[in-house]
């Protein structure tokens, strides 16, 4: 507005000097000048001495109009700017408390996996002893773990926030849906965690049941839990490699070869997954010599036995097979696909298990995994959108979160699997964030 005031003052001085000149001396100047002709009124052509006064009034009136118009435009710009700034920060006013400003930083999507573990006394999200779908072996507190500090940690991204879990809103969003976990026992743990989280929002726990009446076991191929009141299912398919284990076809193979893993064939139960609304995959824990070569299992591609193929190379071929199936079989308009990266274990060099009381400040290289990097590389080149739940680095700090000796078999320590409640609950909070944020934005 200061520039507006200065301009007006200058023009008024110029008009005052014009007004004191005699009509005769200004007559020819006014009409021959481009400015004069531009502001001249048709009534000045009558030869009356008033046209100059009239022109002066009209010029003054025009500048007043310009001032008013400029003020109005400035006001509208300020209002529009305020709207664009304030309204997005209000975010979604629903129960999940999504906030678009919390997931975008400097016009770029925030990395929710870049953060720290912070103490939060509002955790845990459920009591494992009150959830019938937690395996006894994962209920560490119920199995005698003497302290509960491991339950009080929340993941906090550095530049944004993961929405707090609000069970009522999540139940409504999952109404009529089918969410499927495919993978190994770590996937089953995450499946159990999500069911227990969701059950906290139900008064009638009897409306939640396994569709075939099966109990949870380590080897069962399928488990499906239905939430009758909301008409959705949370399912688990055991497929530890994602690709198909097979019998040995070549009789002249070395004696050490007992079975094969068909890297170019997806698990035969894959037809059960394709109609899901949400598909969450993982594989990694079984891709070790103890689960493969030491049991006599080697790799096969087509009819060819690949005795010299390394585990990382075979893992990459299996991922490519999975990716090809996704692109051929999944309708991205119906099904949302996610892949969770490798979950680090915390065994010592001599295979001993020492569960700490608090998260470790030193990951000792566990925050990196060749499997996790391969997953991200393969997904990046796919045509069907796949979200990567990169939990490797964040989980590497949680040496306090493992089952240890607090399982259903305390004689066998476990620094691979996780206590429930615990770290898998945080994976699920991030999973729900990925599933529902596009609905909000």
Residue 153 structure tokens = 């940690």
Q: Using alpha carbons, list the distances in angstroms from residue 422 to 166, 189, 201, 382, 399.
A: 17, 10, 19, 32, 12
CA pair distance 107, 124, nearest whole angstrom: 33
Active site residue 417: yes
Q: Which of 102, 169, 184, 185 is catalytic?
A: 185
Q: Determine contact, residues 69/62, Cβ cutoff 8 Å.
A: no
Residue with tokens 């009080």: 152
Question: CB of 406 within 8 A of CB of 414?
Answer: no
Q: Which of the following is catalytic: 184, 267, 414, 425? A: 414
Q: Which residues pair with 236 in a beta bridge?
A: 181, 223
Q: How far is CA 146 from CA 55, 141, 143, 164, 281, in A?
A: 94, 7, 9, 27, 34
Cβ–Cβ under 8 Å, residues 343 and 285? yes
Report helix angle 23-32 to 51-90, nearest 10: 50
Cβ–Cβ under 8 Å, residues 96 and 163? yes
Cβ atoms of 315 and 240 within 8 Å: the answer is no
Helix, strand and coil content of the chain, in percent to the nearest 5, comes to 40, 20, 40
**Token pair for residue 21?**
């000149």
Q: Please, what sign has the CA dihedral across residues 199, 203, 205, 206?
A: negative
Are residues 290 and 348 in contact, defined by beta-carbon separation less than 8 angstroms? no
Tell me the two tokens of residue 70: 């400029």
Among candidate residues 267, 372, 400, 417, the one labeled active-site is 417
Whose CA is closest to 371, among 426, 316, 422, 304? 316
Q: List, in sequence order, every residue forming a beta bridge with 226; answer none if it has no partner.
A: 209, 233
By annotation, the residues acting in catalysis are 185, 414, 417
């Amino acid at each position: 507005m200061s520039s507006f005031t200065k301009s007006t003052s200058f023009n008024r001085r110029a008009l005052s000097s014009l007004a004191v000149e005699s009509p005769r001396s200004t007559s020819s100047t006014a009409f021959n000048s481009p400015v004069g002709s531009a502001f001249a009124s048709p009534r000045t052509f009558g030869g009356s001495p008033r046209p100059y006064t009239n022109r002066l009034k009209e010029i003054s009136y025009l500048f007043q109009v310009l001032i008013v118009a400029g003020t109005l435009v400035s006001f509208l710009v300020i209002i529009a700017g305020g709207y664009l700034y304030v309204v997005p920060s209000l975010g979604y006013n629903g129960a999940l408390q999504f906030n678009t400003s919390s997931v975008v930083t400097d016009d770029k999507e925030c990395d929710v996996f870049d953060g720290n573990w912070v103490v939060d006394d509002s955790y845990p999200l459920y009591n494992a002893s009150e959830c019938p779908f937690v395996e006894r072996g994962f209920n560490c507190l119920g199995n005698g773990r003497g302290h509960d500090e491991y339950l009080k940690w929340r993941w906090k991204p550095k530049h944004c926030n993961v929405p707090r879990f609000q069970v009522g809103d999540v139940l409504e969003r999952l109404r009529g849906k089918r969410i499927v976990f495919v993978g190994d026992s770590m996937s089953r743990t995450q499946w159990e965690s999500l069911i227990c989280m969701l059950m906290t929002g139900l008064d009638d726990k009897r409306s939640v049941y396994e569709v075939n009446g099966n109990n949870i076991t380590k080897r069962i191929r399928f488990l499906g839990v239905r939430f009758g009141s909301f008409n959705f299912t949370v399912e688990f398919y055991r497929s530890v490699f994602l690709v198909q284990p097979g019998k040995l076809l070549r009789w002249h193979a070395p004696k050490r070869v007992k079975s094969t893993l068909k890297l170019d064939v997806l698990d035969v139960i894959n037809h059960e997954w394709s109609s899901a609304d949400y598909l969450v995959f993982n594989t990694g824990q079984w891709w070790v010599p103890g689960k493969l070569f030491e049991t006599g299992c080697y790799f096969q591609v087509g009819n060819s036995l690949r005795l010299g193929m390394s585990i990382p190379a075979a893992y990459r071929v299996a991922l490519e097979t999975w990716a090809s199936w996704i692109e051929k079989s999944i309708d991205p308009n119906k099904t949302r696909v996610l892949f969770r990266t490798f979950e680090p274990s915390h065994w010592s060099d001599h295979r001993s298990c020492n569960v700490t009381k608090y998260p470790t400040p030193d990951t000792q290289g566990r925050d990196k995994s060749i499997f996790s990097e391969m997953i991200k590389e393969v997904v990046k080149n796919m045509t069907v959108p796949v979200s990567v739940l990169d939990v490797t680095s964040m989980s590497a700090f949680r040496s306090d979160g493992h089952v240890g000796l607090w399982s259903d078999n305390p004689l066998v320590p476990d620094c691979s699997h996780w206590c429930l409640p615990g770290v898998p609950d945080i994976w699920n909070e991030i999973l729900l964030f990925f599933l529902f944020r596009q609905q909000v934005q």
